[in-house]
Amino acid sequence: MEGAGYRVVFEKGGVYLHTSAKKHQDPDSLIAGVIRVVEKDSDVLLHWAPIEEAGDSSQIFFSKKDTSGGDSCTSEEEPTFDPGYEPDWAVISTVRPRPRHSEPTRGAEPSSPRGSWAFSVSLGELRSIRRSKPGLSWAYLVLVTQSGGSLPALHFHRGGTRALLRVLSRYLLLASSPQDSRLYLVFPHDSSALSSSFHHLQLFDQDSSNVVSRFLQDPYSTTFSSFSRVTNFFRGALQPHLEGASPDLPPAPDDEPEPGFEVISCVELGPRPAVERAPPVTEEEWTGHVGPEGRLQRVPELKARIFSGGLSPSLRREAWKFLLGYLSWEGSTEEHKAHVRKKTDEYFRMKLQWKSVSPEQERRNSLLHGYRSLIERDVSRTDRTNKFYEGPENPGLGLLNDILLTYCMYHFDLGYVQGMSDLLSPILYVVQNEVDAFWCFCGFMERVHGNFEESQETMKRQLGQLLLLLRVLDPPLCDFLDSQDSGSLCFCFRWLLIWFKREFPFPDVLRLWEVLWTGLPGPNLHLLVACAILDMERDTLMLSGFGSNEILKHINELTMKLSVEDVLTRAEALYRQLTACRELPHNVQEVLGLAPPAEPQSPSPPASPLPLSPTRAPPAPLPTADTATATQPDSSLEILPEEEDDEEGVDS
């Protein structure tokens, strides 16, 4: 939208002011409006107006140079807003005022009490932006000006915080605070101002103007090695200042150092390489790796072959015991026999613990009774169309039941959680032995037990890592999902929870899992598998005009329609494409297993727009064989559309 001397570069409706601090608000305390970023003359302004005032972008009440002491967004009678407030309870009435478009005269007083809340501010006057916590409430942003005052919190009832931050990043440098990941410091794209600051602080040994110029052009390769030296200087803006202290002074020398900032940026990837899958490992090939005393030889090479081609079905019963840690890759045949005898005794001792509980005892043990009821219900509908489990009196169902109840004795803290039966079923189908299946299942659960913890922190972290990878691989797809209130990727929850068990036909699940169990090429190949599926469906999603419900429906309808070989081929190609990038952000390298974590990671790292960090180490090459030494899903785990999105779900 353009007019005489102005151009609207961003516009988003459904942005509300919550004018009451009460927990239960009436609809009158909600003011619906429109947020705009407007280029006007040589300035860029952020403008919010209530719906009745938002009909014409040229009708903006400017407050940038108001020297009368009044502020267009507050008055003595109006409530002020604390930039640090946390209205996590702000899931309130969804009744919205009916839009009423009017065209006020330029410079005239607001025509209604709600019009008095309208404000505009030059981007150059912003000092920081605070983002809301993830939760069930609507996402909001609080803008803090250079003078230390804050504008009314903007609540995005229809999403849009990320989109707004991306637009602002065109005109400003946004730096995420290491102390508060929801706080962004604002710096203008003004090389002369930055150069002057660097010159007076003597933070660089070279000419400050050259440093800033190269920083704005290529922040990763030229600046981050030196920019860490200004961390302590910026820390003063992140902490409350002592009374009488100057905010421009660096902190005391004895303060503890803080980690560096994450600067919002983009990563340019090279072309995606072509990848070809190898044929499965045969019995003859496996035998070639068996040495004296039955010890496996050249294990890294063997794992690389399993990664690139999988296993022949006749090999799985033996090989899965190694892949899942039940048997040692280095052990001899006799050592394996002794280990199996020991584990068999251990299994039946645990099984006897719940077998010996009488019905009368169980009535007084609500936990065991609850586990038994849940397991019986889930087992009765797990893979019932598979011949191994079909029929009313199928012995396979009894084995599933006994193994899962025994696991409750093995892992008291976790017990049984819905979805575990999906992970056990293919293992029992392949191994066809109760004891071996139990210990193989325990090995699998060692990898994924965090998925079933009540806190769901592991699942949140994985969804955040998946979003990070997707943001690097396909920013337009991320932007589209954000715009459709699907940026949280919650529709991928089931994929990650049970490792795509219900997305592929049963034989394909066996192939997928044995490839993932190799741990190659890194610890999170399952995240790249999810990226590969989304990459395969990107055109359908983006060109069909799907909303959030249609996206969820389309993803659910992919069940049993995916080719595991195509998905694995694309996942490996994505991995090679990422590792070929010399400036791959360090936190992406961590996800791919190419670099150790720079510092202890929070179990649920908060998401932020383009949460990329500077490159720390070059990526390692993908290991290869040459260089390395069908059921329908049941409804018990159905994904349903979200009624109230959290911050990630509504950010678009």
pLDDT digits (tens, 9 = 90+) for 54-106: 444 444 433 333 333 333 333 333 333 333 333 332 222 233 333 333 333 33
**Residue 329 near residue 299, CB atoms below 8 Å:** yes
pLDDT at 42: 84
* 19: pLDDT strictly greater than 60: yes
Instruction: Report the pLDDT averaged over residues 223-249.
Output: 40
Identify the residue with better confidence: 92 or 272: 272
Does residue 337 sit within a domain?
A: yes
Does residue 618 sit within a domain?
A: no
DSSP 8-class letter at 226 = H
Per-residue pLDDT reduced to its tens digit, 508-559: 999 999 999 999 999 999 999 999 999 999 999 999 888 899 999 999 999 9
First-residue to last-residue Cα distance in the chain: 21
pLDDT at 545: 82
For CA atoms 620, 621, 626, 627, the dihedral sign is negative
**Residues 14 and 145 placed together within one structural domain of the fold:** yes
pLDDT at 21: 54
pLDDT at 603: 45
> For every residue of 156-214, which 3-state class applies, written as one string?
ECCCCHHHHHHHHCCCEEEEECCCCCCEEEEEECCHHHHHHHHHHHCCCCCCHHHHHHH
**Residues 278 and 319 placed together within one structural domain of the fold:** no
Phi, psi values for residue 173, rounded to 5°: -95, 120
Q: In whole numbers, what is the pLDDT of the chain averaged over residues?
A: 77
pTM above 0.85, yes or no: no
Does residue 237 sit within a domain?
A: no
CA 463 – CA 627 distance, rounded (Å): 32
Residues 6+ apart with CB under 8 A from 559: 502, 503, 632, 633
Tokens of 223: 């600046």
* Share of residues in the chain with pLDDT > 90 (%): 50
* Helix axes 191-201 and 208-217, enclosed angle (nearest 10): 130
Does residue 135 sit within a domain?
A: yes
Instruction: Quote the domain boundaries for residue 422.
Output: 313-446
Does residue 574 sit within a domain?
A: yes
User: DSSP H helical segments within 310-456, as ranges?
Assistant: 313-323, 333-355, 359-363, 366-379, 395-410, 420-431, 434-448
Question: If you write DSSP's letter for every residue of 297-330 in order, what string do you get?
Answer: -SHHHHHHHHHHH-B-HHHHHHHHHHHTTSS-TT
Among residues 376, 411, 446, the one where a domain terminates is 446
Distances (CA, A) of 95 to 10, 51, 193, 379: 25, 15, 47, 44
The label of the residue with tokens 């929870």 reads 497
**Residues 210 and 140 placed together within one structural domain of the fold:** no
Among residues 190, 211, 230, the one where a domain terminates is 190
Q: Which of 543, 602, 607, 536 is nearest to 565 (CA)?
A: 536
**Residue 184 near residue 176, CB atoms below 8 Å:** yes
Per-residue pLDDT reduced to its tens digit, 365-409: 999 999 999 999 999 999 999 999 998 889 999 999 999 999 999
**Residues 317 and 307 placed together within one structural domain of the fold:** no
Q: Which of 101-115, 122-136, 358-372, 475-489 has the lowest mean pLDDT?
A: 101-115
Q: Specify the CATH number for the domain of residue 552.
A: 1.10.472.80
Distances (CA, A) of 267 to 11, 71, 477, 586: 26, 41, 15, 12
Identify the bridge partners of residue 173 per DSSP, sorted by sequence position.
187
Say how many C-beta atoms besides its own lie within 10 A of residue 521's C-beta. Answer: 24
**Residues 291 and 334 placed together within one structural domain of the fold:** no
pLDDT at 133: 73
Q: Specify the CATH number for the domain of residue 349.
A: 1.10.8.270
**Residues 411 and 499 placed together within one structural domain of the fold:** no
Beta strands in 72-138 (DSSP E): 119-122, 126-131
**Residues 426 and 440 placed together within one structural domain of the fold:** yes
**Residues 323 and 199 placed together within one structural domain of the fold:** no
pLDDT at 617: 44
Identify the residue with better confidence: 134 or 95: 134
> pLDDT tier at 179 (50, 70, 90 boundaries)?
confident
**Residues 5 and 127 placed together within one structural domain of the fold:** yes
* Helix axes 434-448 and 333-355, enclosed angle (nearest 10): 90
What domain count does the chain have?
3
Does residue 615 sit within a domain?
A: no
The label of the residue with tokens 């090479």 reads 301
Q: Which of 96, 48, 165 is nearest to 482 (CA)?
A: 165
225 burial (CB, 10 Å; 0-12 / 13-18 / 19+) is exposed
CA 48 – CA 194 distance, rounded (Å): 29
Phi, psi values for residue 263, rounded to 5°: -100, 135
Among residues 423, 446, 469, the one where a domain terminates is 446
Does residue 369 sit within a domain?
A: yes
Per-residue pLDDT reduced to its tens digit, 583-619: 999 999 999 999 987 655 444 444 433 345 444 444 4
Q: Specify the CATH number for the domain of residue 132.
A: 2.30.29.230
b (16+ CB within 10 A) / e for 376-398 = eebbeebbbebebbeeeeeebbe
**Residues 556 and 442 placed together within one structural domain of the fold:** no
Residues 6+ apart with CB under 8 A from 321: 327, 431, 436, 440
pLDDT at 113: 61
Does residue 570 sit within a domain?
A: yes
**Residue 539 near residue 552, CB atoms below 8 Å:** no
Phi-psi region of 106 (alpha: psi -120 to 50; beta: other; left: phi over 0): beta
Say how many C-beta atoms besides its own lie within 10 A of residue 483's C-beta. Answer: 17
**Residues 124 and 199 placed together within one structural domain of the fold:** no
pLDDT at 150: 81
CA 468 – CA 488 distance, rounded (Å): 11
CA 188 – CA 144 distance, rounded (Å): 15
**Residues 518 and 587 placed together within one structural domain of the fold:** yes
